[in-house]
Structure 1
Amino acid sequence: MGTGKRGLLTAALTAVCAVTVLAAPGTAFAAPTPLPTAASSGSPASPTPPRGKDLEQVREKLDRLYHAAAVATDAYNAAEEKAKKQSAEIVALAKKIVEGQQKLKKLKNQAGASARAQYRTGGLPPTAQFLLSDDPGQFLDGAGLVLQGQQATKKLLGEMARTQKELREYADDASAQWKKLEAGRKAKAAAKKKIEQQIAAAKEFESKLEKEEKERLAKLEEQAALKAQTAWLDTGVLKEADGKASAQGKKAVRFASAQLGKPYVWGAEGPESFDCSGLTSQAWAAAGHPVPRTSQAQWKQLKHVDIKDMRPGDLIIYFDDASHVALYVGDGAIIHAPRPGRTVTVAGAGSMPILGVVRPDA
């Protein structure tokens, strides 16, 4: 086994051990140990790091900033998906317009040939041609063909009119799609700007923390997640959740497991980095069952299942706005891409507020 794979396996096992700890209901949580102050340690006076409630407020503010970035990321991804579809529709319309123009040209050539044939007869009506004919019998034999020719010409002109109408409709549709594409471009640009603003604000906020404060903040985050997971497990929610993964679900879990340790990057869907829905959508694409790109679309379009019925491979949707998604891997654990600055990791399924569970291969 290579050193890279061994490192990922070690990280995964460490995370799974942490989840195993979470599975023990009633775990107690102690407040973080206060850091020594200048007065107690005898060291030179320095700014006192935030402690207790102050640091908890820091954690909550960071959570809000990254949550806002996640919401904006979903909006960006949705705009990106719409842009892809609209571009494909414009290409299809352009192809139809080209084909329609070629068809119209052919019809015009046919109409021109018909007009030239009529010109050669002098443009006389059939009755006059009959009276002036040297061989009326021969004329009568051809009268049926003339009538057929007139009907064909009428049909030809009707087909030309329909083709011209279709071309106008295709052009109108293409124009409408271009307008939608432009609106989508603006929406995507606005979402991108908001993402960058929220992440920049979070990073700037974090940069003001001392090393000790960052360490204590990390412990607070870990404790909050453990507390939420334990409270979730204490409800007995997993007592009946013993569903077995489908063949496709197993493939999705294997794919997600292979991504452990890769960085979170907003808007990314692999292979080197992922955002939350980029990971879940690619996991199920690898399983041979494509799903919507965004967490909100996954929540809206995929089949909902009760938590007690969930099985490995199902997707757990988080927060009231469906702004985060993770892949359930069993035993109360998930694999997910958390947020900027973090990597794809294993966590407790109840470590965040659950909105619901969806099943891609229902």
Structure 2
Amino acid sequence: MFEKEISFIKSLFDKENIPLHEPCFVGNEKKYLNECIDSGFVSSVGKFVGEFEEKISKLCQSKFAVATNSGTSALHIALLANEVGENDEVITQSISFVATANAIAYTGAKPIFLDIDEQSLSLSPKALKKFLQEQSYIKDKKCFNKNTHKQIKACVPMHTFGLGAKIEELKALCEENFIILIEDAAEALGSFYKEKALGSFGKCGILSFNGNKTITGGCGGVILSDDESLAKKARHLSTTAKIPHPYEYIHDEVGYNYRLCNVNAAILVAQLENLELFLKDKRELAGLYKDFFKGSENFKFIDEMPETRSNFWLNAVLLKDEQARENFIKECLGNNIFVRGAWKSLPSLKPFENCFKDELINTQRLERRIVNLPSSVRIRKI
């Protein structure tokens, strides 16, 4: 049924088994790892951690960067550093990787799930505006839920597949309603809106460097912020809340062992050196997909929005209906082409089924029709 599409995808990758997104190691990864091992500093102390933080903050146009061992831990700490806690609520989108909702739940706060935007696949500004107008009120420059009377402390949009949310509209709504904007930019390293890096619009943002991301350290995350006090708080919490002292172990609050290790940072520093090369290759791949699916009756390529420059972390298409999607996925997998459907909506998952959700009109219409295509960097030698 999909012979033409299968043949095209195979022509893009010179592989018998085509993964969804595999890491690309073509630079100084081994060299820096050997330096790390030779130094003896392989845990959370070592030169590569600081070097990585300095380089990633510059790249992402952020004054401060705090490296963590995952994007999930970065989001957890970002929420805690903004004093999100048990009696609070946090708005996020209905479709995201489960880590977005999990990090909110770790704090004891309750997620509020709102619909996604049809164009960006991220949090819908229309849904956010409607919810705030109908379900919230302002008191003493704080936003409260009309039904629960709990404070709506933060809003966490996720930049889906690196495409970029309608971030200026979301930011304006958050500011008008005294809600802290925290960007889940886990998938969006190298993506920009009006030449400003995604992850740098909110009070803070987070990135992920998991093994399937554009660059990876095997694991890793980072918290970005222009707020010095928030960055200091995040660093403190991520290093077990230990007060610096030559020999005493003094911890002034509950902390977390979330600091990035020097070994992982060494790989990330090497990966950063080739980021522009990776992004160029990924944009070329996206262009090939876009041209191929142009005019298709069964497929619509999901493109970047105007004024947005996507990293095209995972290329995505929209199938005409759910059955076509199922057939396409099965046929691809049968040909060793590893595609995937979008995540199940978060409020449909057992841990979050009792959380508030709006009508989810776009979510229900799009959830079972999205497919991610193989999107690996295709460079093998430089």
Q: Normalising by the residue count of structure 2, what TM-score does the alignment of the two structures yield?
A: 0.25
Decide which structure has the larger Cα Rg and report it.
Answer: 1
Structure richer in strand, relative to its length: 2
Structure richer in helix, relative to its length: 1
Q: Normalising by the residue count of structure 1, what TM-score does the alignment of the two structures yield?
A: 0.26
